Structure 1
Amino acid sequence: PVTPLLKITPVTSLAGTEDQAAFSPDGNQIAFVWNGEKEDNSDIYVKQIGAERPLRLTSNPGPDTDPSWSPDGRYIAFLRQSAEDGGVFLVPSLGGAERKLADAFPYRPVVIGNTLSYSPDGKLLAAPDKSSQQQPFSIFSISIEGGEKTKLTAPPTGFLGDFFPAFSPDQKTLAFVRSVSIAAADIYLLPLAGGESRRLTFDNTSIRGLSWTSDGKEIVFASRRGGSTYNLWKISITDATCERLTTNERDVYSPTISRQGNRLSYTQSMMDGNIWRFALHSAKSQENSPLKLISSTQEDNGPQYSPDGKKIVFASRRSGSFEIWVSDSDGSNARQITNSGGPLTGTPRWSPDGRQIVFDSWLEGNAAIYVIAADGSKPRRLTYDADEDVTPSWSRDGRWIYFGCTRSGSMQIWKVPVEGGPTVQVTKQGGFEGFESADGKYFYYAKGRAMPGIWRVPVAGGEETLVLDQHRGGLWRYWAVTSKGIYFATAEIPSHPIVEYYSFEDNKISLVARLDKPLFKTDPGLAVSPDGQLLLVVQMDESGSDIVMAENFR
């Protein structure tokens, strides 16, 4: 059932991105994250509901996120994501000197939603943390008085980890989200007096934040259950009955409920990604100016030219769920070739002969690799293990499919024969997504989110070596290998990324294009035509988010 949410009012409508609202104890103010008028850095702000200008509380060059209000209203806890001086901090809610509470692992996956929670008695703060890159994130409680940490949860090895902790109003239960990967997660409940955590949802889909109702009987959460769009749902903690609260066409997430229980606030996305074409070496002046090639009011991503250069495969949410589409090289005659109807589907890649397309999908619960004919016929599942198999690509001879997988306990590159059969491990020191070189001798790959660099390993086996350390972890899926080099995107200023080219011949890096729109942090977004003349880049033509509120939430 859908319960209509009455009277939605805007809380913030600033330029850029506002997210992660947290109510003050009296429910009349919110703390939130905003990336500022220049859209260049995330900081913590406080705003009276109904007033216009927010008060800025932090101004560190590192991103400050995840505000959580102390129950007495005097302090706001937040997370600073910085390798140098990062950690969990407290700042007075009226402004003033910060106090560092504890260290925190500096590199975070792109999880969206509030990940800090003050306990109702004001003595503890729950936060996700870990001590090494290889470990999954666990939930820790941090003493407000002394900063001591106590580990509360222990997710299985190979999982992304546990996020979005939230103390129940009576402080007897901790709700949290256990993520196998960014796209596969469920809600768990941990009794704080002792005992095992209990799984509440069995959706195995992406979640972006949760909040308890004031009576402690239900949880409101943002999820992709039932489609590719994040909407808000309300679930009973006793019998797990679930009802849908929003029916938005664009994502809503980061729900938070006031202590009084009558106000529900959440973030409303305005994101629209389209595929643009840039000329690389063209003498034709009309092709030199960037062209919006493939666009819709929803997200389009993951483009790749067919081997003959006549077609483009891409993923799009234009039909209501992420599906694989194929168009002509000029963007015309786009047609849908998959029908997943909700589960996340993406990363399409052409076979070397142009007859088949490989992609990843959460069609049957966990992520697996699928192959389909280029005309949409004969879809088949290629991998069947219980782990997350993602980001496929073809060997140059068309006999193998490479993919990223956690089956060894950490994310590594594996390969499987295209007809199915035993899998072979390719990397040992980490690997997420990659491509064979044009001559089929090397496999080039990125290690994953927040892990800079492009690496290579001989296809025949051998040493894993760093090729390019300028490729930053933030835009980890914006790169492409050609016979002569690597195109990749970087963004020292998020709103003004650049595309660069690394030449195999002289190991030099040159500027290819300056972009005036931000890029996505989770989706593949760069491709080069087979003749090396054209570049495809996925840009966020509309970006940002606002915070809205339902006044009469029950």
Structure 2
Amino acid sequence: GRLVYGSSASGRAEVWMSDADGTNARQLTNERAPSMQPSVTPDGRYIVFQRFTQDGGNVWRMGIDGSDPKQLTRGALNLGPHADNAFVYYVSLTSGSPRPWKISIDGGEPVSLGDHHFRLIGLSPDGKRQLGVSWDEGARRSALAVLPVEGGTPQLLPDIPAINGSWAPDGRSITLFLPHEGGVQFLRFLPGEKAPQPLGKVVDRVFAYAWSPDGKQMALARGQASTDVVLITRTGSGRQ
């Protein structure tokens, strides 16, 4: 197997690929504009990703080997792409709030999937549903939600206590992680059921994760983060 991921190892955000064990890493993009959030189509032909240029953030497509990059969307803020073999699903912030859209994997005219607050996280394994973050007006908070790929109204999942979820390999349940004893604990929730199934613990902070297509492995971006308080003293008026 192989891993496709975003990395700043070159000094700038780019898309990389390596073997499943992290060896044979190679950079797939090499532009002056940052490239990030890659996602591979189920057939393994393409990688879709977002690239930030002077015109804003847009959705791009390239071959699995990094060849033939092609810009798919045009606009100020089109982000977070995920694709099946025919369409790329993404979020547009042009209106000021995240709205779901899709566009052909070959480009063309984008199609609106509804005028609802929805930030895409990923596609279900069967390619029929989108998992994302929507707004629970009754509770006045963000909540996970499911949206058909055809569009419509997001179905809220208010019983799931986090918004970092992803589809589990079975296509029915949601995987997420919660803080636990200085690290995180992974859990699996089946919508409609209260009791989650523990999957395991990680002692580090987890920044991102993804299941392998066969559901037998999970790739993690993990580590530690440190912050410091900085005092900046004003020494003058700043006037010239």
Q: TM-score range by the shorter chain?
A: 0.7 to 0.9
Measured in 2, the distance between the counterparts of 1:451 and 1:369 equals 28
CA drift at 1:415? 0.6
Alignment-mate amino acid for residue 335 of structure 1: R
Gaps of at least 5 residues in structure 2 are none
- Structure 1 position 362 matched with structure 2 position 37: no
Q: What is the rounded CA distance, in whole Å, between the counterparts of 1:339 and 1:425 in structure 2?
A: 31
Deviations 1:299-358 (A, max 9, x none): xxxxxxxxxxx11100011111111000111211110000133x4321100012112100
Matched, 1:486 2:174: yes
Letter in 2 for 1:546: D
Residue 83 of structure 1 corresponds to none
Q: Distance in 2 between matches of 1:549 and 1:508?
A: 46
TM-aligned CA distance change 1:480 to 1:344, over 3 Å: farther
Amino acid in structure 1 at the alignment position of 2:53: L
Contact 2:120–2:130 at 8 Å: present in 1 too? no
The reply to whether residue 400 of structure 1 matches residue 87 of structure 2 is yes
Structure 1 spans left out of the alignment, 5+ residues: 1-309
Q: Number of paired residues?
A: 230
Sequence identity percentage: 26
2:39 aligned partner? 349
Task: Name the SS of the counterpart of 1:519 in structure 2.
Answer: strand
Asked if the contact 1:323–1:345 (Cα under 8 Å) also holds between the matched residues in 2, the reply is yes
Distance of 1:329 and 1:484 partners within structure 2: 26
The structural deviation recorded for 1:451 is 5.2
Aligned to 2:216: 533
Structure 1: how far apart are the matches of 2:183 and 2:231?
Answer: 31
Query: Within the alignment, does 1:379 sit opposite 2:61 as a pair?
Result: no
Amino acid in the other structure paired with 2:217: L
- Residues 99 and 118 of structure 2 are in contact (CA less than 8 Å); yes or no, is this contact kept in structure 1? yes
TM-score, length-scaled by structure 1: 0.38
The answer (yes or no) to whether the contact 1:480–1:526 under 8 Å persists in 2 is: no
Partner of 1:269: none
TM-score, scaled relative to structure 2? 0.84
Q: CA 1:328–1:451 in 2, change beyond 3 Å: closer, same or farther?
A: farther
Q: Which residue of 1 aligns with 2:80?
A: 391
3-state DSSP of counterpart to 1:497:
strand
The Cα shift of 1:363 comes to 2.8
Q: Secondary structure at the match of 1:415?
A: strand
Partner of 2:10: 319
- How has the CA–CA distance of structure 1 residues 506 and 371 changed in structure 2, closer, same or farther, with 3 Å as cutoff? same
Could you tell me whether the CA contact under 8 Å between 1:484 and 1:505 is conserved in 2? no
Partners of 1:436 and 1:499 lie apart in 2 by: 20
Aligned residue in 2 for 1:337: 28
Q: Does 1:542 align with 2:224?
A: yes
What is the rounded CA distance, in whole Å, between the counterparts of 1:547 and 1:457 in structure 2?
Answer: 41
Specify the alignment match of 1:465 in structure 2. Answer: 155
Partner of 1:163: none
Contact 1:451/1:472, CA 8 A, preserved across alignment: no
Matched AA of 2:2:
K
**Other structure's SS at 2:214 match:** coil
The 8 Å contact of residues 479 and 489 in structure 1, kept in 2 or not, is answered as: no
Contact kept in structure 1, 2:131 and 2:166, CA below 8 Å: no
The one-letter code sitting in structure 2 at the alignment partner of 1:532 is G
Deviation string, structure 1 residues 261-314 (Cα, Å, up to 9, x no partner): xxxxxxxxxxxxxxxxxxxxxxxxxxxxxxxxxxxxxxxxxxxxxxxxx11100
Quick one: which of 113, 117, 138 aligns to 1:430? 117
Distance 1:461 1:402, change over 3 A: closer
- Distance (whole Å) between structure 2 residues aligned to residue 468 and residue 324 of structure 1: 34
Report deviation, 1:496.
Answer: 2.6
Q: State the secondary structure of the residue aligned to 1:536.
A: strand
- Alpha-carbon displacement from aligned partner over 1:383-411 (angstroms, at most 9, x marks no partner): 112x201100013xx11100111234421
Shift of 1:364: 3.6
1:462 is displaced (CA, Å) by 3.8
1:443: how far off? Answer: 2.1
Larger of the two Rg values belongs to structure? 1
Shift of 1:426: 1.8
Q: Deviations over 1:473-507 (max 9, x none)?
A: 4xx4x5344324221122377x4322111236967
Contact 1:413/1:433 (CA < 8 Å) preserved in 2? yes
Inter-CA distance 327–496: structure 2 relative to 1 (3 Å threshold): same
Q: 1:1-52: per-residue Cα shift (whole Å, max 9, x none)? A: xxxxxxxxxxxxxxxxxxxxxxxxxxxxxxxxxxxxxxxxxxxxxxxxxxxx
Matches within 5 A, 1:218-233: none
SS in 2 for 1:491: strand
